[in-house]
Amino acid sequence: MLKKLLELIFPPKCAFCHRLLEGDEENICRECCRTLPFTGAKAEFKGEFFDACFAPLYYRGTVRTAVLRFKFRRGKHLARCFAGLMEDCLRDNMPCAPDVITWVPVSAKRLKKRGYDQSRLLAEELAERLGMSAVPCLERKRDTVAQSSLKGEEKRRANVLDAFAVSSADTVAGRRILLVDDVVTTGSTLAECSRELLMAGADRVFCLTLARRA
């Protein structure tokens, strides 16, 4: 009853184009299901220090708009829909099950301003779907400039160098880690986090994001 009442007051909208959903549409409208820039056979790519990164979508068009809404416009509710897409991508591509699911943490400054860590929300929703728990393994040692504001892989790599630390080596030692983030561009942040995890004794590191740069 409460759910139906809330839907009358706040009609459900497509997570991507923000159009009102109709009939049996759930989270994503039929048009977006047909036209979203899915990565398909290119969902997996290799990177430095991590075995592979998987992403179901390319970061453009309505995907970019939806991610910005998720991060900056109180769009916490979108995490469940996004995690569903990420779960499907993971099941289709990851060669082995993870032992630990964790995330790339935002800085304390951004957490205070935003009120939540979007990557943590994705990791927690994903872990719940997989019957696991998301575990905090990394902490940010310092605030960094937003990677999206920097041009070139060298600047991005320098920006995150030594910006992270493993909070508990016992949690990651000898384990396969799944590292979750919202978007991957050059992969510099994921590489730096993976490096720290491997130095702490992790067996292997795989990464999963909602979207990737084309």
Mean pLDDT, the chain, rounded, equals 89
Question: DSSP state, 128?
Answer: H
Average pLDDT over residues 132-146: 85
Name the residue among 68, 44, 47, 66 with its Cα closest to residue 56: 44
Residue 100 and residue 204: Cα distance in Å, rounded?
11
Average pLDDT over residues 149-157: 63
User: In this predicted model, which residue has the larger pLDDT, 38 or 23?
Assistant: 38
User: In this predicted model, which residue has the larger pLDDT, 148 or 65?
Assistant: 65
pLDDT band at 6; cut points 50, 70, 90: very low
For residue 55, CA distances in Å to 155, 157, 172, 190 come to 23, 21, 23, 13
**HSE-up of 150 (CA within 13 Å, CB side)?**
17
Domain 37-145+153-212 CATH (choose: 3.30.230.10, 3.40.50.2020, 3.40.190.10, 3.20.20.60): 3.40.50.2020
Residues near 202 by beta carbon (within 8 Å), at least 6 away in sequence: 172, 173, 174, 175, 176, 177
Residue 26 and residue 24: Cα distance in Å, rounded?
6
Exposure string of 160-188, with b = 16+ CB inside 10 Å and e = fewer, is beebbebeeeebbeebbbbbbbbbbbbbb
pTM: 0.91
Give the model's pLDDT for residue 144: 66
- In this predicted structure, the answer to whether residue 171 has a pLDDT above a threshold of 50 is yes
Average pLDDT over residues 169-188: 95
Give the model's pLDDT for residue 105: 94
> What is the residue extent of each domain of the chain?
37-145+153-212
What digits encode the pLDDT tens for the residues 69-107? 999 878 899 999 999 999 999 999 999 999 999 999 988
Residue 190 and residue 181: Cα distance in Å, rounded?
8
Give the model's pLDDT for residue 186: 87
Report, in angstroms and rounded to the nearest whole number, the Rg of the chain calculated over CA atoms: 17
